[in-house]
């Protein structure tokens, strides 16, 4: 894995979102899933292979299967999306996207309350900030304390 910490940037945003208001109804709350984030990556994410690490002692069996399937060289994005896990809520986990042997992106689900994104790709960061306007920059120290 090749990583240059000085070029990596990190943002954090709330995992729970208010849905669109419907006439006469309260706003629905929804959870941003890994699947949603993978779709937001568009063509950038299609070429990545994913490795998953979960920090929950008793993850849902779908996540345990994902961790197993992603061992070694990782699991391609479309294969990952074809499994059940990305559509579920995990508690704590890192989902690392690799372009070949180089770490391109980390999606971190933290405490089921927020998502953290680390990448050197400016387009990915702008897409995250466009879709999740509450995304705020993080420092390396903040990133290191959420693992």
Cβ distance 93 to 58 under 8 Å?
no
| 91 within some domain | yes
How does pLDDT run along the chain (147 residues), one tens digit per residue? 444 445 899 999 999 998 755 555 666 888 999 999 999 999 999 999 999 998 877 778 888 888 888 998 999 999 999 988 888 888 899 999 999 999 999 999 998 899 999 999 999 999 999 999 999 999 999 998 876
- Our CA dihedral for 3, 72, 39, 32, rounded to 10 degrees, sits at -90
| 1 within some domain | no
Quote the Cα angle for 113-116-80, to 5°.
95
| 58 within some domain | yes
| 37 within some domain | yes
- Our CA dihedral for 93, 96, 97, 101, rounded to 10 degrees, sits at -160
pLDDT given for residue 3 in this prediction: 47
Name the residue range of residue 104's domain: 9-20+29-145
| 125 within some domain | yes
What SS3 class is residue 73?
coil
The C-alpha atoms of residue 144 and residue 4 are separated, in whole angstroms, by: 15
| 2 within some domain | no
The C-alpha atoms of residue 92 and residue 97 are separated, in whole angstroms, by: 17
| 123 within some domain | yes
The C-alpha atoms of residue 135 and residue 24 are separated, in whole angstroms, by: 29
Per the structure, how many domains does the chain have? Answer: 1
pLDDT given for residue 64 in this prediction: 85
Q: Where are the alpha helices (DSSP H) in 12-117?
A: 34-40, 42-46, 61-69, 77-81
| 15 within some domain | yes
């Amino acid at each position: 894995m090749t990583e240059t910490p000085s070029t990596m940037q990190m943002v954090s945003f709330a995992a729970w979102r208010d849905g669109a208001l419907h006439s006469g109804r309260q706003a629905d709350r929804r959870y941003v899933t890994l699947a949603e984030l993978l779709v937001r990556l568009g063509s950038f994410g299609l070429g990545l292979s994913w490795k998953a690490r979960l920090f929950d002692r008793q993850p849902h069996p779908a996540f345990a299967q994902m961790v197993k399937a992603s061992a070694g060289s990782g699991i391609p994005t479309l294969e990952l999306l074809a499994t059940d896990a990305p559509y579920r809520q995990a508690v704590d986990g890192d989902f690392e996207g690799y372009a070949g042997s180089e770490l391109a992106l980390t999606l971190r689900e933290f405490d089921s309350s927020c998502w953290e994104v680390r990448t050197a790709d400016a387009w990915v960061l702008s897409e995250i900030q466009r879709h999740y306007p509450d995304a705020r920059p993080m420092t390396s120290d903040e990133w290191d304390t959420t693992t």
